[in-house]
Amino acid sequence: MIGRMGCVLIGVTLLLFLIRNWVLKTRVVREGTTWGCGYTAGTARQQYTGTSYADAVAELAEPVLRTLKEDQPILEEEIFPGERKFATHPIDIFRLGLNRLIDFLMLVLKKLARLQTGNIQHYILYAFIFMILIFILLTFKIL
């Protein structure tokens, strides 16, 4: 059934295409510039990019996406604004969360790193303390 509908769709499209070609054969088809709506000095710097297209949905999902915007706001007393830059950076919130977790872990681990002195006698002392601890725990039947 869906295949049948697909065939009908392609058929109707071709039919309309042929009708249009036949109609336009006897008429003048011109080319011009895009309708500017009074906005005729458009350059490539003012184009409508993919980011602009996705802007509406991105605004709705802003708590999840958290795009970083770098811009300088126009102050109220600035009547003729000066030159400005604008940049948006999409960030990865999972990576941000992972960075925060790892920073926390590093803080904890740095405190533990004081045990690492480089002196071999200290390391032998640690092994000695461990053996005495195990001996005490076994004697009092805790372990």
CA–CA distance, 9 with 25 (Å, rounded to integer): 24
How near is the Cβ of 79 to another protein at its closest, in Å? Answer: 23
Helix (H), strand (E), coil (C) string for 44-110: HHHCCCHHHHCHHHHHHCHHHHCCEEEECCCCCCCCCCCCCCEEEECCCHHHHHHHHHHHHHHHHHH
How near is the Cβ of 33 to another protein at its closest, in Å? Answer: 6
How near is the Cβ of 84 to another protein at its closest, in Å? Answer: 19
With binding defined as CB under 8 A, does residue 112 bind another protein? no
Residue numbers at the binding site for another protein (CB under 8 A)? 1-2, 4-5, 8-9, 12-13, 16-17, 20, 23-24, 27-37, 39, 42, 46-48, 52-57, 60
